[in-house]
Structure 1
């Protein structure tokens, strides 16, 4: 009998309350310990999110207090949206890239998805002829989205000028410092305008291709992370594109930018996160935003980012332990094998776990956890999270401490793994933790692990 036949047979037995083929192996002491750890994590995470440095920081930069805006086309939405998609555009050799980016964005989104977002384009150029032509092109191609308040085009001005003084100085206009300053001003004006339009803000470049249903991907991720403190969620490996912020943090972020005018913007983001207690990036895989190959141009100040290409997972040798029921021959180890086998269990409760114990510590760089059936996603983990463990102890076989990688998003997690500076950069455990009871069958289909090749570690 194949796996599907065994599963169907088990369901028949289960519905008839026949427990003959169910083996239960609880570890109540360990479960109590995990539940206690969960409660402690909730208390600690709340306190970590309050950092005195940024409590004292002014809400708005002095530069932006004098900002004025012109609405070039469109109307601000009457109701607050979930997400503002911000695009900054300055005149450069590939004029059509902005139009291609907007076309990609709208084509990748369904009408229900578009009801959650507002697309905000900021044009940073004082040339009236260029502005007029660019606005005319946008208005011609995206008239329906403008009329339905899905697209708004603005120009931000500082003291009557859209550029800082040092950028207008032609003697310095080619220097990287001046370009960084202009970029920060551009982003600052864009974010300042966007701060009251929605709950969240997504930044993308003017040369980006959006994958299908990217709005839904972000929506469900935000739902899963809503109870967990975070500063930036990254949906691509690009330096700035694909990053999502709380709009309530935008004023602090722009103030932080203007404190370091000569530093590249993307380098400041990690420091901003660190000051607000997010010590490592939170980056999801696969990326849902890509550079358009025909819209990339070389610039010494803004080198083109190379997206990391992952091969197949390599799942290093490991054992798999759980305190959940083992159903028929759907053993825990099957969740870690790279084939169609899976682990099945019944009625998990809060604190239940399935833990991968690596044979030796590994530099893990990506983890994916798939639960539920492959097609419809039935029998998935309703509420759960994945944790990374360090310092393996022999008795009981477990890691001494864990850190959160992330919650499951609709029964699925696929995230990059980053390590704090000066911290241990090798894992010994990967733990899937159930956060809420569910009275149903549960399938843990696959745990996929990517490790860094040894030649790259040296």
Structure 2
């Protein structure tokens, strides 16, 4: 009897289990039917991402040794043509944005042409750049017809250095000579044959371009004759009408024009340089170069075992960004197609990530140091320095040297905590400075002049003059017109510090007349001490420069 009960229980348990399993299978089948389209979509998305990896290798010039994909072109075209874009389900990094979608569409079109064997000889650009497109496609490239000085060579170098240059105010044009001398002195004689320096005269003023190019050529003639240097210029008619561009990124009309032209300039320079060397690196025209920089670059490249699109040899802006020359056409296509909508640094960040480099790759030390202060954009000052520069040494950077003005009689006041032996009066003395600990918000440093004065230019520099530590991180300049019982009142803000520097002439600031009080104020507290090193006051326009 007991045995019979056990058998019945087992049969009953088996029956219940079978019923449960059947119910589960039925439920799964129903759910799978509901999600079939979505599952298939993800399968296609996975296939597409594999194909994109394949296409990246093709664009980078890599062989397809380790990939085994079923009919990659067929699947790729089928998926792309069905969806007419790549939606957020296959975005490989970040969020799905308008910019990201544009990058996906642009690159998929380029990749389709590449994998189908259609070479990217011609550019297809926005209507605003029809003349650029016509010029490029007519010449099948940007060839030596744009070379103004220097000998065009067919030899394949190791590194091309591209330097776009435009006119700057206040004798800022002299930066280029410092840059070229630094490149010459820090390129080993044994490596000169492996390096080509291409200077692009990119100012809208043709007369300035021609005059400056001639001066540079005459100064460095042996290097042009040897093929070490070249000067190029673009046909004027390839540029669009920058005055009719739509404002984007909350930039002013002037800034939109400036950055849009910069995109076109960079693309033109890259397209010319794409066949000159294995690698291309871009500099600005106001840099110093570290010793043995070519050897350091070569060593850094040889030690890379991962996939890379861009190597960075400076922490500042577009300085020291290095690419495979084989990637320059793709990068240029993006800069040109999106020239009026997005600044080059944002475009470049999207390009690099899309092509598979998810994080920046920096060298341990910077090989290029920024030395300019005067931006090519009107009324913009750029006193940035790279604190990781390899050869920073003990020399005062050119960017920290000020024009010498006057020091009208004044009384000094401050409510900051003064470091002993570094009083406010030091700002009027050579090689001395005012030093305060941890300035707080709204604390000030003030000059009350014995007599009211008129200033044609005011220059103030904060921070130590070699490594630029202890500068005023967030400060403003105010002036006062009346004085009652040695207290400045009627203060009016006239400008802000830029990375611890103020120059009314470079920043396009007109100083009111009849000034009694000069007031420097911290807008926020800071975790560093503060050095005010120099205050130079110009009262006669004749001596401003």
Q: TM-score range by the shorter chain?
A: 0.5 to 0.7
- 2:309 aligned with 1:256: no
Match of 1:187 among 249, 266, 281: 266
Partner residue in 1 for 2:352: 273
Kept in 1: contact 2:370–2:386 (CA 8 A): no
Partner residue in 2 for 1:56: 109
1:307 deviates by 3.3
Distance 1:101 1:207 in 2: 6
Kept in 1: contact 2:168–2:374 (CA 8 A): no
- 2:285 aligned with 1:206: yes
1:166 deviates by 1.4
Kept in 2: contact 1:119–1:150 (CA 8 A): yes
Partner residue in 1 for 2:183: 105
For the residue of structure 1 that corresponds to 2:335, the secondary structure is helix
1:153 deviates by 0.3
Kept in 2: contact 1:298–1:304 (CA 8 A): no
Report Cα offsets for 1:151-194 as digits up to 9, x if no partner: 0100022xx4253211599x999611111110001001100100
After superposition, the CA RMSD in angstroms is: 3.4
Counterparts of 1:349-428 in structure 2, within 5 Å, are none
Distance 1:257 1:134 in 2: 27
Report Cα offsets for 1:276-302 as digits up to 9, x if no partner: 110000011211101115666786778
Distance 2:216 2:239 in 1: 23
Kept in 2: contact 1:191–1:254 (CA 8 A): yes
- 2:173 aligned with 1:95: yes
For the residue of structure 2 that corresponds to 1:129, the secondary structure is helix
Counterparts of 1:107-146 in structure 2, within 5 Å, are 107-146=185-224
- 2:242 aligned with 1:163: no
> TM-score scaled to structure 1, two decimals?
0.52
Kept in 2: contact 1:178–1:262 (CA 8 A): no
Kept in 1: contact 2:280–2:322 (CA 8 A): yes
1:246 deviates by 0.7
Distance 2:229 2:267 in 1: 19
Kept in 1: contact 2:375–2:382 (CA 8 A): no
1:309 deviates by 5.8
Counterparts of 1:431-450 in structure 2, within 5 Å, are none
Q: Which runs of 5+ in 1 are unaligned?
A: 1-42, 311-454
Partner residue in 1 for 2:434: none
Kept in 2: contact 1:145–1:151 (CA 8 A): yes
Question: Which structure has more strand as a fraction of its residues?
Answer: 1
Q: Which runs of 5+ in 2 are unaligned?
A: 1-49, 60-75, 77-103, 114-119, 137-141, 390-526, 529-545
- 2:140 aligned with 1:72: no
Kept in 2: contact 1:126–1:161 (CA 8 A): no
- 2:276 aligned with 1:197: yes
Partner residue in 2 for 1:218: 297
Kept in 2: contact 1:232–1:282 (CA 8 A): yes
> TM-score scaled to structure 2, two decimals?
0.44
Which stretch shifts more, 52-61 or 293-302? 293-302
Report Cα offsets for 1:304-344 as digits up to 9, x if no partner: 5453569xxxxxxxxxxxxxxxxxxxxxxxxxxxxxxxxxx
Kept in 2: contact 1:126–1:162 (CA 8 A): no
Change (3 A) 1:147 1:175: same
> Larger relative contact order (C-alpha < 8 A, sep ≥ 6)?
1
Distance 2:363 2:281 in 1: 14
Question: Which structure has more helix as a fraction of its residues?
Answer: 2
Distance 2:208 2:244 in 1: 17
Partner residue in 1 for 2:63: none
Q: How many residues align?
A: 266
1:123 deviates by 0.6
Distance 1:210 1:80 in 2: 23
Distance 1:162 1:48 in 2: 31
Report Cα offsets for 1:420-453 as digits up to 9, x if no partner: xxxxxxxxxxxxxxxxxxxxxxxxxxxxxxxxxx
Match of 1:241 among 319, 340, 350: 319
Structure 1 or 2, whichever has the larger Rg, is 2
Distance 2:56 2:355 in 1: 6
